[in-house]
């Protein structure tokens, strides 16, 4: 095990895969010479050369279109879209072209490509550089959606995304880039579509994604020590494929599910999960599913405002306590 930052795990995953597969190429704005505006790809140009690590103009349509054309003709491209907000600039490729080509052509193509993008709030960049848009991608049939919460998962899940024969949008969280964690030595690949139970408690279940995962874990600690509420915490890790079975099993065990979502409320990923839980284990529930989300507003820039609207540790604690009005389910008499 070595300690790596979330940011360095990105380059480590790309390097691992470029090393083993000559078909892997990488393109994007400022990704080569500059090493990425978030310094996530430092050293790749020097190690693999300008033939495989390509700086592009500010042309999101050309970046994703070129990645798609390369994927259709034998390469395994990784395309960086600098901020996930900019996916809107090349949405035709994300929504219309990349995910539909295999289906429309009755299986004539595979589309092994990865769109890496920096998602989420915390940098005080305002409404067009801070959004969490994983739910946009989730709404499209034909594209996989992955969002890691820690350096080991960055490396393992990005490697899996690069090896996957289907297109993957890989949401890296800007506010996690500086965080550190243990990453297994040697080749590290994690399967896509497997949620991870990070903590087990018998009273409630919290499911979170990306930067909301560490917040959910902190909230669980406070709930345990200050409110005597034992929480299970699930890191969802990927929205598509969705590990619904883990969600169902962990919800049935506690009877209470909370989602912690950074995306704005309407049609956030928790809505789909709430729907699945309600349809498939309604009679095992002790209360309605509670969604803790960013309100349905554009993100404000000022730190005081941004902090007030993104789900915080305290808000998670408060919502859980309020919603459960707590009498511990498995501790009668308390």
Partner 1 sequence: MSTSTAPPALPTALALKTQLALYRLLVELRYCEKRAYDLFLQNLIKGTSHLALGQEAVAAGFGHAMEKDDYTFCTYRGHHHTLARGASMSAVLGELMGRECGLLAGKGGSMHLTSVEHGVMGSYAIVGSHLPIAVGAAWSAQYRGTRQAAVAFFGDGTTNIGAFHEAINLAAVWKLPVIFVCENNLYMEYTPIRSVTAVEHPAADRAAAYGLPSIIVDGNDVEAVYRTALAALGRARAGEGPSIIECKTYRHSGHSRADPAKYRPPGELQAWLERDPLPNYRQRLIADGVPQASLDAIEHTAMAQVDQATETCKASPPPAVATAFTDLWADGGTAWRN
Active site amino acids: 129
Using CB under 8 A, which of 7, 102, 174, 215 touches partner 1?
Answer: 102
Total number of residues binding partner 1 (CB under 8 A)? 49
Edge-to-edge strands, sheet with 238-240: 53-55, 24-28, 76-83, 114-119, 168-173, 144-146, 238-240
Q: How far is CA 132 from CA 122, 171, 184, 295, in A?
A: 11, 9, 28, 12
**Judged by CB under 8 A, which stretch of 100-108, 183-191, 215-223, 227-235 contacts partner 1?**
100-108
**Judged by CB under 8 A, which stretch of 11-19, 71-79, 259-267, 323-331 contacts partner 1?**
71-79
Q: Does 249 bind partner 1 (CB under 8 A)?
A: no
Q: Are 151 and 158 in contact (CB under 8 A)?
A: no
Q: Which is nearer to partner 1, 163 or 199 (CB)?
A: 163
Using CB under 8 A, which of 9, 12, 70, 271 touches partner 1?
Answer: 70
Q: Which is nearer to partner 1, 93 or 177 (CB)?
A: 93
Residues facing residue 77 across a β-bridge = 25
Task: Please name the residue that has the structure tokens 């501790």.
Answer: 331
DSSP type of residue 37: T
**Judged by CB under 8 A, which stretch of 152-160, 213-221, 239-247, 294-302 contacts partner 1?**
239-247
Burial 56-84 (b: 16+ CB within 10 A, else e): beeebeebbbbbbebbbeebbbbbbbbbb
Smallest distance from the beta carbon of 10 to partner 1, in angstroms?
22
Smallest distance from the beta carbon of 41 to partner 1, in angstroms?
19
Tokens of 86: 């900019």
Q: Does 66 bind partner 1 (CB under 8 A)?
A: yes
Q: Does 279 bind partner 1 (CB under 8 A)?
A: no
Q: Which is nearer to partner 1, 160 or 176 (CB)?
A: 160
Smallest distance from the beta carbon of 3 to partner 1, in angstroms?
33
Q: Does 56 bind partner 1 (CB under 8 A)?
A: yes
Q: Does 208 bind partner 1 (CB under 8 A)?
A: no
Other CB atoms within a 10 A radius of the CB of residue 104 amount to: 12
Smallest distance from the beta carbon of 111 to partner 1, in angstroms?
8
* 313-324 and 212-227 helices, crossing angle to 10°: 50
How far is the C-alpha of 178 from the C-alpha of 70, rounded, in Å?
A: 32
Using CB under 8 A, which of 2, 34, 104, 249 touches partner 1?
Answer: 104
Task: Verify cis geometry, omega within 30 degrees of 0, for the bond prior to 43.
Answer: no
Which SS3 state, helix, strand or coil, does residue 14 take? helix
Q: Report which of 215, 214, 212 is spatially closest to residue 180, judged by C-alpha positions.
A: 214
Q: Are 172 and 14 in contact (CB under 8 A)?
A: no
Binding mask 152-181 for partner 1 (x = CB under 8 A): -------------xx---------------
Using CB under 8 A, which of 2, 20, 103, 327 touches partner 1?
Answer: 103
Using CB under 8 A, which of 28, 77, 148, 268 touches partner 1?
Answer: 77
Burial 288-317 (b: 16+ CB within 10 A, else e): ebbbbbbeeeebbeeeeebeebbbebebbb
Q: Does 287 bind partner 1 (CB under 8 A)?
A: no
Q: Which is nearer to partner 1, 58 or 297 (CB)?
A: 58
Q: Does 278 bind partner 1 (CB under 8 A)?
A: no
Residues that bind partner 1 (CB under 8 A): 25, 51, 54, 56-57, 59, 61-62, 64-75, 77, 92-93, 96-97, 101-112, 141-142, 165-166, 193, 240-245, 276
């Amino acid at each position: 095990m070595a300690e790596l930052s979330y940011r360095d795990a990105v380059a480590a995953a790309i390097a691992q895969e470029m090393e083993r597969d000559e078909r892997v190429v990488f393109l994007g704005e400022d990704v080569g010479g500059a090493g990425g505006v978030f310094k996530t790809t430092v050293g790749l140009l020097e190690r693999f050369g300008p033939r495989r690590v390509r700086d592009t103009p500010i042309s999101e349509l050309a970046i994703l279109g070129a990645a798609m054309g390369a994927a259709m003709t034998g390469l395994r491209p990784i395309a960086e879209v600098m901020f996930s907000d900019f996916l809107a600039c090349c949405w035709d490729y994300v929504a219309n072209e990349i995910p539909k080509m295999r289906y429309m052509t009755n299986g004539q193509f595979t589309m092994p490509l990865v769109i890496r993008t920096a998602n989420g709030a915390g940098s005080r960049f305002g409404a067009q550089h801070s959004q969490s848009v994983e739910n946009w991608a989730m709404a499209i049939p034909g594209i996989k959606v992955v969002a890691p919460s820690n350096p080991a998962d960055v490396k393992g899940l990005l490697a899996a995304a690069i090896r996957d024969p289907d297109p993957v949008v890989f949401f890296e969280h800007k506010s996690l880039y500086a965080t550190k964690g243990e990453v297994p030595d040697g080749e590290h690949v994690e399967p896509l579509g497997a949620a991870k139970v990070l903590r087990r408690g018998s009273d409630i279940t919290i499911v979170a994604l990306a930067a909301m995962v560490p917040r959910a874990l902190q909230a669980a600690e406070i709930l345990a020590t200050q409110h005597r509420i034992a929480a299970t915490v699930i890191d969802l890790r990927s929205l598509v494929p969705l590990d619904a079975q883990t969600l169902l099993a962990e919800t049935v065990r506690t009877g209470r599910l909370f989602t912690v979502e950074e995306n704005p409320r309407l049609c956030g990923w928790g809505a789909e999960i709430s729907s699945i839980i309600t349809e498939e284990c309604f009679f095992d529930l002790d209360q309605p599913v509670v969604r803790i989300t960013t309100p349905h507003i554009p993100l404000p820039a000022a730190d005081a405002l941004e902090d007030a609207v993104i789900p915080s540790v305290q808000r998670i604690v408060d919502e859980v306590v309020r919603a459960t009005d707590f009498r511990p389910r498995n501790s009668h008499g308390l």
